A and B are shown apart, each in its own frame.
Chain A
Amino acid sequence: MTDLQTFREETRDWLEANCPQEMRKPGDVAWGGRNAQFSHPDQKIWLEKMGEKGWTCPTWPSEYGGGGLSKEENKILQEEMGAIGARSPLGSFGIWMLGPALLEFANEEQKKEHLPPIVRGEVWWCQGYSEPGSGSDLASLSTKAVKDGDNYVVNGQKIWTSYADKADKIFCLVRTGPQEPKHDGISFLLIDMDQPGVTTRPITLISGKSPFCETFFDDAKAPTKDLVGGLNKGWTVAKRLLEHERTMISAMGLSGGGDGSKKTKSGLAEIGKKYVGIDADQKISDKALRRKVAMHDLNSRAFGLTMQRVGEETKVGAPSPAAAMAKYYGTEHNKLRYELMLEAMGTRGVGWDGEGFSMEELAITRDWLRTKANSIEGGTSEVQLNVISKRVLGLPDK
């Protein structure tokens, strides 16, 4: 038996013994943190078991609490988890964004301090990039950090900070070099949210939900040792982290049959049949809708296969050169998917709440509204197209 086969068997046995039955059903994913909330006691057990093994972050080095798995081993782990329907044990910006950036840019002390709590789900991180005056033009940001002894004193405002009201800490872009050219005066700073100098105010989205906030810094403090990647060198860290963020968001394009090799049904056809009916040949009776669904399914597969191919082409942990393309295409595709659901559902797709609509219908409507942010968060579609044309295609600026 090869090492990988042995690994597969051991993994299967371990999952069988340790994954609680309740966690083999679909449901919400835990986000951990200091004041962690669990929707079921088994969620906590599952997180602890996986955290201990480092399998919340399977490919991170074991010296920082990660699983230390190779790309191939991780693939097996994901397949085995998929086979029993195991839920992801932990979701977090720490795993998807901050961790990979720390692994690349942080010093040894910082890695030792910050990575293991991410693996175990003990710290909930949020992202402090955008400001009221700095969205796409992120590098124009103006939140200031001034050194004062062993601390930086931070003043300014962030906006669209997802989960700022729930998070323990924030990874933040701050201006430390006001005289330097805009890209060369930015630092990457880790700040504790639990202090008098930090306040948050929730913002309500068109979907009715309120997952993000305005974040205000009034003489907030952060230890100088928590500046990552060097003074005024934060833009390099920031850009790399954005690539990881884009890869994370682009995975949305995979929902609904995007995984070209396995799932090949998006659910769109079922929704179409259910709401508009079928003809004598069992085909969706609205021909125009049927055509759009097929187009969407074909593009889902093509996109899923592309993500797979790009994955094969890139090393573990390295951002792929195709990240901007994936973010652009994946999010636009996901938006279209919801538009098609609404189109199929007719008036049942445009209810807000209360009687007359099923829970599922109302959820789709709210999710449709949420998808509108997909092509904005993490860098807008237009910004991704700029990145592709400049960095991938080498088209000149001036």
Chain B
Amino acid sequence: MIRHPLARRSTLAALALGLLSAGASVAADGPYVTTVATATWQDNITDAPSGDGVLGAFTLGSTTDVSWLASLGFSTLLTYGVESTLEICPRFSGLDSFSWGPRISWRHKLGVGPYAPFVTVGLEGSAVAFSDHERSRIEGVFTAGGGQRLNDAVQLLVDARAGTYNANDLVYGGNYVGANATLNWDVSGTWRIKLLGGWRSGDGVSNYAAQFVGGAWTPIDPGILNSPGWWHYVNTYNQPFTAFRLGIRTLSSGIGVCPAIGRHTSLALQFVRLDSKGYDRYADDVASASIVHRF
């Protein structure tokens, strides 16, 4: 049912080599450093269907991106660098993680001026270490996107992603494709309103509350056992759960405000609702507050 991701990974590696060799011969600007500190509340961090097992939790995260720019031509830029993220979940320490990985993206502007559209193609790799060792994984993502400014206040950004990840435990591995659209509306020099929409299809994990029956942990709702794929008992959430790797389709929609605090810093407040359909339907509301600083 689930394809082994090796074939896809070799394609990603070839693309990465191609992009890197394109940038190797040109002088680069940088490094440019951007840091983001985020506090996030998820009301269904377990991705559990309504009923048993819906648990909420805060996570605190800090991301640092260090990147370089190289010009490949008239309106073509290569950006490459490294991003690292530390995430702490005070309620469920098994979700604490540290990720590190290189990224490279090619960007071309179709014309001159702020209203010319641009397109991007990129690759992202990351190694993620979790406190719950079985979740630790390596991941590769191919990205493609673009943007168009409609006027001096409104910009539309779109991006598509295809990713593959291999975890220590098969339940936490998989492949996915997704697409996102963001409409940024700068209502004043300070205030930005964001509308967000997204779609993702691929592997994901949904957690079902478990009980100990007949000498083994099984989901309280036995219907899920009819779904194909890997599953096992997890104790990440301080109470018994069974984690199921499922084919999941998620639609997301959200709104945000992003006031600028000077030229280099912004605050971002965002609310996104994720509606997913795996074996069952479930929702996860994600509210976050971030401070972004570009040095």
Q: Do A and B bind each other?
A: no
